[in-house]
């Protein structure tokens, strides 16, 4: 039996970048737009995983994020080694393989691996430095809630990949109308095959 793949994002623009399964997509594949914020993400993912055929589905949270480390640029990629929010910490599956697949899918883009932290609001200014002091590389509003909900009922493969749309030296106001947002959109569209590669790796026999 094929393990389904559920890819979750929050925004319509993220969904547009990810729409169209394309070559290499799994037979059982679903793209879910959850809506903004941790509560919306948790509810939507919980409902999706209750649907028939979704037992044991792999879940990948994706979309845009804010970078926390100076020197990051719009269009850089963040692969979560773990996600954190007030509910707790969720370790991710196949982080190294996923980072390698992303580097092949988006050559020339920097791929960062580390802690992805969750927030219930858009993070700006000094709050970035406070979150960076906790060891986090980037922040978004939905990934931690998505993975927490996905693993709450038992173990399943989970991952989170985010594209930086703004960073400490490149703080943006509106995603869709600025160069950084356009760059992030193109990168998100380009890396979908890496998500499929990650999913295929889950089906390989373990040695």
User: Residues 35-83: pLDDT tens digits?
Assistant: 999 999 999 999 999 999 888 899 999 999 999 998 998 899 999 999 9
pLDDT at position 179: 53
Q: Which of 30-34, 107-111, 129-133, 150-154 comes out lowest in average pLDDT?
A: 150-154
Query: What's the chain's average pLDDT?
Result: 88
**pLDDT digits over 139-175, tens only?**
999 999 999 999 997 779 999 999 998 876 656 544 4
What is the phi-psi region of residue 26: left when phi exceeds 0, alpha when psi lies from -120 to 50, beta otherwise? Answer: beta
pLDDT of 189 over the 60 cut: yes
Cα separation of 69 and 137, whole Å? 6
- Paired strand residues for 115: 82, 136
pLDDT at position 206: 46
Closest C-alpha to 117, from 138, 145, 90: 138
Percent of the chain with pLDDT over 70: 89
Cα separation of 53 and 65, whole Å? 30
C-beta separation of 121 from 39 below 8 A: no
Q: Identify the structural domains of the chain with CATH numbers, from first to last.
A: 5-202 (3.40.50.1580)
Region 120-132: what's the mean pLDDT?
85
C-beta separation of 150 from 4 below 8 A: no
Q: Which has the higher per-residue pLDDT, 42 or 27?
A: 42
Region 93-109: what's the mean pLDDT?
96
- Distances 187 to 42, 61, 80, 112, 146 between C-alpha atoms, Å: 25, 15, 17, 14, 21
Kindly indicate the confidence band of residue 129, based on its pLDDT and cuts at 50, 70 and 90: confident
Residue with the two structure tokens 């925004």: 11
Kindly indicate the confidence band of residue 3, based on its pLDDT and cuts at 50, 70 and 90: confident
């Amino acid at each position: 039996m094929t393990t389904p793949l559920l890819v979750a994002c929050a925004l319509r623009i993220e969904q547009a970048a990810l729409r169209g399964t394309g070559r290499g997509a799994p037979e059982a594949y679903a793209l879910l737009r959850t809506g903004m914020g941790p509560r919306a993400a948790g509810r939507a993912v919980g409902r999706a995983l209750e649907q028939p055929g979704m037992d044991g589905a792999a879940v990948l949270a994706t979309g845009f994020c804010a970078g926390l480390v100076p020197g990051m640029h719009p269009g850089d990629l963040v692969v979560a080694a773990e996600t954190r929010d007030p509910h707790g910490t969720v370790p991710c599956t196949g982080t190294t393989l996923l980072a390698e697949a992303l580097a092949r899918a988006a050559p020339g883009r920097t791929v960062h691996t580390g802690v992805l932290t969750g927030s219930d609001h858009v993070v700006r200014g000094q709050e970035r430095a406070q979150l960076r002091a906790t060891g986090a590389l980037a922040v978004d509003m939905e990934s931690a809630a998505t993975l927490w909900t996905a693993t709450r009922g038992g173990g399943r493969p989970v991952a989170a990949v985010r594209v930086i749309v703004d960073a400490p030296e490149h703080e943006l106001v509106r995603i869709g109308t600025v160069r950084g947002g356009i760059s992030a959109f193109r990168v998100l569209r380009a890396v979908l095959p890496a998500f499929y590669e990650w999913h295929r790796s889950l089906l390989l026999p373990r040695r």
